Structure formats: structure tokens, C-alpha cells
A and B are shown apart, each in its own frame.
Chain A
Amino acid sequence: MTTECLLVRNARAFPFAACPVVEMPAFRETVIENVRLGARLNALFAMFQPENDTLLLLAVMAHDADGSLRILATRPGERYQALTPACSQAHWFEREIFETWGILPESHPWLKPIRFLPSRAQDVPSAEIGRANFFRMDGEEIHEVAVGPVHAGVIEPGHFRFQCHGETVYHLEISLGYQHRGIERALAAGITPRTLHYAETAAGDTTISHTTTCCQAWETLAGTQVSARAEAIRAIAAELERIANHIGDLGALAGDVGFLPTQNYCGRIRGDVLNCTALICGNRFGRGLLTPGGVQWDLDTALAQNLRARLAEIEADAVSAIELMFNTSSVLARLEGTGVLTAATARDIGLVGVAARACGLSRDIRRDFPYGIYRFHHLPVCTWSTGDCFARAYVRWLETRQSFRFIREQLDALPEGPISSSVGPLRPDSMAISLTEGWRGEICHVTRTDANANLTVPKIVDPSFHNWFGLACALRNQAISDFPLCNKSFNLSYCGHDL
């Protein structure tokens, strides 16, 4: 009893009415069948329709092989048969839907809050942060370790609970929500001068990619053609963001295994890369660079040359620092075989980005759903098959090299033209799905306009939303002392998850 979905393309507006709204059983079976055939669930979310005072449940599914996105909607009512038992990728989404809207996914095996947010449904009481029905093992010599929300380092807060027997972790439960700032609620209420800044800070280390995702949706709804020059500048900034974060992560991984030279060098090199972004727009994280229609700052010839020279030095420093680590057997011994995830698990739970590619899954929005300048200039997708901390480290390094090359090529051949185009009135009653490949993985923004062409962003999905559960799986049967290393090898965003 499966049904046809609407086929759409990345960052292309379509009339909202074209999205089929089907009965719940058909919706459920169609989503499950698509995922069984290899689709990824980019988003599964409820959206309030003020026009008729109802909630719609929407699924966005990506078929990487043919670059198509499928969407389907239903009216879920107050309860429905959960998808999760037949489709693990729905697990986190259904918990979110229940927590936010009070719609009950019946027979969901693990129905607990993920953000502990103030419930938007009147009859569902809000959960108190950190209090949930945590999974618990019993038995002699079993012990539980609880960590966080405040951590020892300079990082964001989250709570981790380990069920251990001796050193061995049998189960890790990750309980987040401490970073909940109300971004989705605010974005769903319509555009204000704050909108773009919410995208910039949804995950503040991913400013460029989240903002690109946001702008793309806006532009297609306005029918704006962004110049090739602006697209190239956006891509240069996005790859700088990738390089900075990957190098920072490699340094932190070196630190977690006690290899101080690489840790120290990478900490500094990361700063040098952030300074390159600041040369373009004045801010090390790319705040204020993007605007709907293009970019705010141009990259003239002198600046391009300056960047090129700096990046050549930075790359040489990075090669020296990072190859040192990968040539040191004591480092490799700690990374290899630690925190292994199989490709099958990664596929089942719908991992994205570096974490997925490190399990051998070749998925990358830049290639599969190309956008902006990536439609014309390609980057090879880097994968490794071992699914361990080594793979997650090494894929980062392979990608870093590709990004350096890509930026060099772009700087050498920046297209001529204006850096921004005017953004006209928005099309009413439309929707757009916008995907980009941030440094952690796929970012998805779902944007729509109502009958009066008011823009709202009913859903944003940070890659961390897909991947936190992967970290929990990777910790099974690991020594608890390897948790910092495994955690860093994913380096997921807390605020991007909690929004």
C-alpha cells in the first residue's frame, strides 16, 4: 500500500500544494519502503498549519544514487503506529515529534525526551532536564558512571550515562537538551532581522554551511539567481570552515591519545585558518559574510593572492603536524580498532558526513545533491572502511587535503561578476528543501511560505541530530577510558542538536 511521493530537487522551490497528503498507513509504509530501498530520512517532522489549525507530519527522503528528494505528508492525529520498529532512522525524529507536539508514536521502543523542551502541546507535561527513565543494568559488579552536563574541558554541556562492568561499557545513553535556546520555535514564527543570525549560530562552528543552507532556500523561493562569484566565495568559506574544524579535531584527537606535538601545532594552525576567514569578512567564524542573494564582502585580486600565500604556508604546517601523527605507531595503536561502527549499523541509523564516510558509506551532499559552485567544480568523496577512530581521523585528513586543493583552484579562477543579486518578493504557498554538506555532514533546512508569502523555517536538521546515536553505538564493548577519544572522533554539536 505504498504511494507516490513528490519528487523535488535540492534547493528548488515547489508549490506546497503539490506535496501529497495521504492517510497515515500509506505514509508509514511508503517511508519504510523507501528507506528499505536505500533512502535516507533527511527529516521527519511535524508542522503546524495555522490556515486550518492542524498538524501535518512530513517526511523528506534522499535517494543518493539518483540525486532525488522525495517528500510526503500525512495528518498524524493524536497517535499513530511508530515507524521506528521498522525504520531505525526514524528513532530520534519520532522522539522529537512526541516531545514537541505530543503526538504519540505507539510502540516506539525508546520514547524519552531528547531536548527536555517546554512542550507545545497543552496536555503533555514538560520533562525536567536530565530526568528520564534511563536504561539501567543490574547485577553484581555492574556500575553506572554519569558525566556532565558541565564537562572538564572547554566544551558544550551534555549528559552521558555509562553502564559498565569493570572497564567495559555495555551501554551508553546520551541525554542532551542543555543547549536548548528556542531556535526552531523562533524560526518557525517568521522572518525578522534575527533570522539569518539564528542560522549563523545554530551551530556556531558551522556558520557558513548553515547560513548557506538558509540562504539557498530563501533565494529559490524568491527566484533569485546567485552569481557564480558569490557561489565561489561561499564555497571557499565553507571549505575553510571544513579545514579549520578538521585540523582542530585532529589536534584534539592527538591530545586525547597523549601525543602532544600534533595537538599543540594543530591548535595553532586551526587559528591560522580561522584568520583566513576573518580576512574575507572580518570575523573568524564567517559571521556576516552571507546574505540572501550572495555575499557581503568581495574577494579582490590582492586578497585572493594574500589568501593563496597564507594557505600554502598553512598547508605545509598541517602536513608536517598531521603526518607526524599518522606516522607514529603508538598513535595508530590507540586509534585503530577503537569505537568501531559497521557500515550496516551506520546505514541503519542513517549516519551522515565524516562519521558515515569513515564506515565506507560514500555519501556527500556536494556530490549527490550538488548546489552552488559544487555543481560545476567537484571534490572527490573520501571514504575509509574501518569505521573506527582511525577512520574518522583519517577521512578528516583526506578531506582537508581536498579542500585545500579546491580553494586554490577557486582562488585562481574566481568568476567575474557581482557579489550579490537583489532578492525579489517571495512566491506564496511554496516550499523548498535545502541541503548542504557542512564539515560534520548533511545540513537540512525546510523552508516554506504561506498564502501571503511570509517565510518560515519549520525545520532545521544539523548533522549531529543523525549522528549522536552513532556515538552511543560505537561505545558498546569499549573501555570507558576510550570515551573521550570516541567522542572527539565524532565531535558532534550539542547546540546544533538542541537548537
Chain B
Amino acid sequence: MPLMWNILAARLHQKNRTLKYPDGPAPELPERFAGAPEIETGKCGENCDACLRQCPTGAILREINTGELRIDLGLCLFCRACERACPSGAIHFTHEYRLAAARREDLITGPGREFPAEARQALAEKLFKRSLKLRFVSAGGCNACEADCNVLSTVAWDMGRFGIQFVPSPRHADGILVTGPVPENMRLALLKTYEAIPSPKIVIATGACAISGGLYHSHPETHNGAADLVPVDLWIPGCPPHPLTILDGLLRFLGRIS
């Protein structure tokens, strides 16, 4: 039985690596990780628009009345171009990874808006708290969001611990998780997948592309994300979102953590 021994030896070597999170601490994020931004409008120079000019997606807005700077995390690529462009250090990206929200408008930073925003949804909690089966639809996703969703099914993250699983058929699913800006060429496939899922059902938009089109915002070839075609219940920002951001979003959505 040499094969058996080989397998056992490998098993011993690989050890048990499933994360302790959420019962234990969250896995450590890299020092250079970009989470939620912190903006100090007070530091802005007069008529300065350095950040606005550098932003690739137009995610930065300046309130006309108050002059307040806001960043729409639903459009933001977390590329830090604004942070680098700012001559007075008014923009700073923190390690706050809890970015998901149940309402689209909660993704826009601003005075009085703290992260994490509310991601819990009463209906989802009631119906799917202990079992959420998702059909994955990549609609123009570049394979980064796909990879960081896939990783949640590996032994390290083991999303199955919470009854959350990607399933092969829409008929077996409680909802869809969409990535990508939704190219016109995927419109029909997305709609048909949505229709094929029994009601009540939920939709999760993962990544800047699926939320708003992201980098592909206003491309005539795409639909600026999923929301124009299907009703979105949970928004998970990032380009791509860190797996921890995705898992945290799912768990808060289902009311499994607060």
C-alpha cells in the first residue's frame, strides 16, 4: 500500500489550515493592502482637483455645496492613484476590509458614513442563514473576482462551513453571484440564469465591474454592471475584493456575524 502511505504522509505535511475566522481573529492583511479610504476634505487645497483628474473611473465626487470629497467604492478600483496625486495627503487608504453593503448608496463615503455599513438583509437571514446555494455568473469578469470567489471554497477559507456553496445548476440555487460589467453579449445569459432560479432569490454583485461597470463604466459594449438587469441585494466592492471582504460580506448579509 505505498500509495496509501504517500497520501497519509502528504496529509501530515499539509496539516489543518482552515482559518479560525470568524470565531478567531481574521487573517492578517498585507501591510500595503488598500481597504476603505479616509478623506480629510479640510486638507484640500483651494480649487485642487488633482485626485479627480487621476481617477480612472470617475469614482471621486466633490459636493458642490460643501466642497466635501466623496469616493464611490462601487466604482473605485482601489488603485491609489488619488492618494498618490494628492499634494496634501487628504486621501488615505486604511486596512478596513469590511466594505460590503446592502444598499448601493452606502458604498459612497462621506461625513457620517462609517464602514462597515449595514449588510444584513432580514429576508436573506430568515431564509438562507444556514444554507445559501449560489449560481456563479461571470459576465465579463477578468478572472480575478472569479479566483477570489473560488478560493473561498478551498480548505483554507472553507465557506461550506457556513452552508454557503456554489452549485452547478440555477435550479438548485437560492441566488446568483455576478462578477464583471455584464457585456451586452452576456445580457441574455444573465437574465435566463436569473429566471431559472426559483423565487425567492437574491443577487450579489461582486467587484467594481458588477456593481457599476468599474473600469468598463460607460463602455457601450457593457451594461455598467448587473443592477440594470437584475435587482441586487448585496454589493461587495473591490477590484477584485479580497476573499476576506467577500466572506465578511456574505456572513454579515446572512446575519451570521454582525
Contact = CB atoms under 8 A, between A and B. Distances in A.
A324 B10 contact: yes
B186 A178 contact: yes
Contacts of B11: 261
B147 interface: yes
Interface string A150-180: 1011111100000000000000000001111
Chain B contact residues: helix, strand, loop or mixed: mixed
Given A153-B136, A181-B216, A265-B10, A129 B143 contact: no
A201 B189 contact: no
Contacts of A320: 9-10, 13-14
Contacts of B243: 271
Nearest to A271: B151
B3 interface: yes
Interface string B154-182: 11100000000010110000000000110
B7 A156 contact: no
A185 to B, nearest CB: 8
A278 B32 contact: yes
A261 B10 contact: yes
A337 interface: no
Contact of A264 (B140, B141, B148, B155): B155
B131 interface: no
B230 interface: no
Interface stretch (B37-45, B65-73, B77-85, B249-257): B77-85
Contact of B183 (A153, A181, A186): A181
Contact of A282 (B9, B34, B53): B34
Contact of A157 (B33, B139, B150, B222): B139
Interface in B21-76: 30-34, 53-57
B130 interface: no
A316 B141 CA distance: 32
Contact of A180 (B9, B153, B183): B183
A255 to B, nearest CB: 11
A279 B30 contact: yes
B146 interface: yes
Interface string B205-243: 000000000011001111000000000000000011011
Contacts of A493: 143
A170 to B, nearest CB: 26
A20 interface: no
Interface residues of B, number: 68
A405 interface: no
B122 interface: no
A436 interface: no
A399 to B, nearest CB: 19
A124 to B, nearest CB: 17
Contacts of B31: 279, 282
B219 to A, nearest CB: 5
Contacts, number: 185
A485 interface: no
B199 interface: no
B83 to A, nearest CB: 11
Contacts of B84: 296
Contact of A203 (B3, B77, B143, B242): B143
A122 interface: no
A182 interface: yes
B137 to A, nearest CB: 6
Contacts of A271: 151, 154, 156, 243
A203 B149 CA distance: 16
Contacts of A296: 84
Nearest to B81: A193
A483 interface: no
A321 B154 contact: no
A154 B221 contact: no
A218 to B, nearest CB: 16
Given A129-B185, A282-B34, A207 B215 contact: no
Contacts of A186: 219
A27 interface: no
B219 A182 contact: yes
Interface stretch (A283-291, A360-368, A409-417): A283-291
A12 to B, nearest CB: 29
8 contacts: A181-B222, A267-B151, A267-B153, A282-B32, A283-B34, A287-B78, A317-B14, A328-B6
Interface of B: 3, 6-7, 9-11, 13-14, 17, 30-34, 53-57, 77-81, 84, 135-151, 153-156, 166, 168-169, 180-181, 183-186, 188-189, 193, 215-216, 219-222, 239-240, 242-243
Q: Which 9 A-B pairs have the closest CB atoms?
A: A204-B142, A282-B32, A152-B168, A267-B154, A204-B144, A182-B221, A193-B56, A201-B142, A278-B30
